[in-house]
Amino acid sequence: MSYSTRKKTSTDNANCVQSRTDRRNTLMSGHRACQGCGEALAARCVLDAAYNATNGNIVVVNATGCLEVFSCVYPENAWNIPWLHSLFANAPSVASGVASAMRVSGKTKIRVIAQGGDGATTDIGMGALSGMFDRNDDVLYVCYDNQAYMNTGVQRSSSTPPLARTATTLPIGSYMGNDAKTGKNLPKIAIAHNIPYVATASIAHLFDLEQKVATAIGIRGSRYIHVHVPCPLGWGIQPSDTIKIARLAVDCGLFPLFEAKDGVVRTSFTISNIVPVEEYLKPQRRFAHLFGKNAAPNVIAHMQKLADENIKEYQLMGENTHG
């Protein structure tokens, strides 16, 4: 089958919630995130879009992690919306409880969003998330995926890409970093739960991200958005390159952008100029051991294969090439 495709247009940026002076700034300035933090940017964009789409009727449950730690250290608080942090592993369950409370008290206009990093989502809280999906509880769950445990100093998570260097996958001797055949594809796992809406998004494509949030927030039941967010500290990139690296991840095919409804992928975001994976990997210190004097062309070929498979599976090439 072929998906419908979405391409970036010249008017997209002008229509962004982020480009408007009346945006809510759900996550206000003054928080303690690192310079160039992809997660902070994504969280504000996602929640501003949700705020905009619901006339301000959102409440947010946050898992423990960078986002929670940098945004709300007593007596300071950067959130401009109702916000509840309980624990690392239980954000989906807490959000299910909040959604039940809203339903039972007749406040059905208020939409519940749960959010967490990849550790909270793909590892420690995955059982809770699966339970929430299974019950189809009325929650939009957003994962900000920076591909490792950044808050504790860059350790491997099940979302860490193959061959990446983290504090617990240091490339030493013949060990080339994170094992090549490990890791979870959480968007696919979410789709397998047959929930009404699953999407992937990137902070490099803001309009697409905002559109997906606006779509998701209007649907009842469990919804999942997986946002790719570079981490300058953990990935070893310049803070000024966060968006550039995010865009390269999409453009090389390693992070495909798509939407799935009711268990089936329906839409993908086509890439105008596909780039080789090296262009994405090379600027990042976490992949530096794959280049230079210990270059490992065979493992880079493995990464290219993963990207190629995505390009084929999600039909990421221009519309003309679809069959």
Partner 1 sequence: MLHQLEGSRAIAKAVALCRPNLICAYPITPQTHIVEELGEIVRSGELQNCEYLNVESEMAAISATIGSQAAGVRSYTATSSQGLLHMVEAVYNASGLDLPIVMTIGNRAIGSPINIWNDHSDAMAVRDAGWIMLFAESNQEAVNLHIQAFRIAETVKCPVMVCVDGFILTHAFERVNIPDQKEVDEFLPTYKQHITMDPVTPLAIGAMVPPEYFMEVRYMAHLKQQKSISVIEQVRDKFSDKFGGNSSGLFHKYNAQDVETIVVTMGSVAGTIRDVVDDINCKHGNKFGVLTLISYRPFPQDAIREILKSAKKVFVVEKAFAVGIGGILAQEIKLSLLRTNVPVISIIAGLGGKPITKSMLFDCLLENHQRDTKFLGLNDGLVKKKCSFAGDCCTNN
Binding site for partner 1 (CB under 8 A): 56-59, 61-62, 68-69, 72-75, 77, 79-87, 89-90, 92-105, 110, 127-128, 130-131, 134-135
> What minimum distance in Å lies between the beta carbon of 111 and partner 1?
10
CA distance 197 to 191: 8
> What minimum distance in Å lies between the beta carbon of 62 and partner 1?
8
CA distance 33 to 321: 42
Residue whose CB is less far from partner 1, 4 or 108: 108
Residue whose CB is less far from partner 1, 102 or 148: 102
**CA nearest 166: which of 182, 188, 185, 186?**
182
- Calculate the CA 118 to chain-centre distance: 8
Angle, helix 38-53 to helix 242-251, in steps of 10 degrees: 80
CA distance 92 to 228: 19
**CA nearest 3: which of 177, 199, 252?**
199
Residue whose CB is less far from partner 1, 103 or 322: 103
> What minimum distance in Å lies between the beta carbon of 77 and partner 1?
4
Residue whose CB is less far from partner 1, 106 or 292: 106
Residue whose CB is less far from partner 1, 96 or 115: 96
CA distance 264 to 317: 19
> What minimum distance in Å lies between the beta carbon of 92 and partner 1?
8
Helix (H, G, I), strand (E, B) or coil at 307: helix
> What minimum distance in Å lies between the beta carbon of 110 and partner 1?
6
Residue whose CB is less far from partner 1, 110 or 288: 110
**Position 180, amino acid:** A
Residue whose CB is less far from partner 1, 75 or 292: 75
Residue 64 per-residue DSSP state: S
Upper half-sphere CA count for residue 139 (Cβ side, 13 Å): 31
Helix (H, G, I), strand (E, B) or coil at 93: helix
> What minimum distance in Å lies between the beta carbon of 179 and partner 1?
28
CA distance 160 to 85: 25
> What minimum distance in Å lies between the beta carbon of 41 and partner 1?
20
Q: What six digits make up the tokens of 213?
A: 């949030």
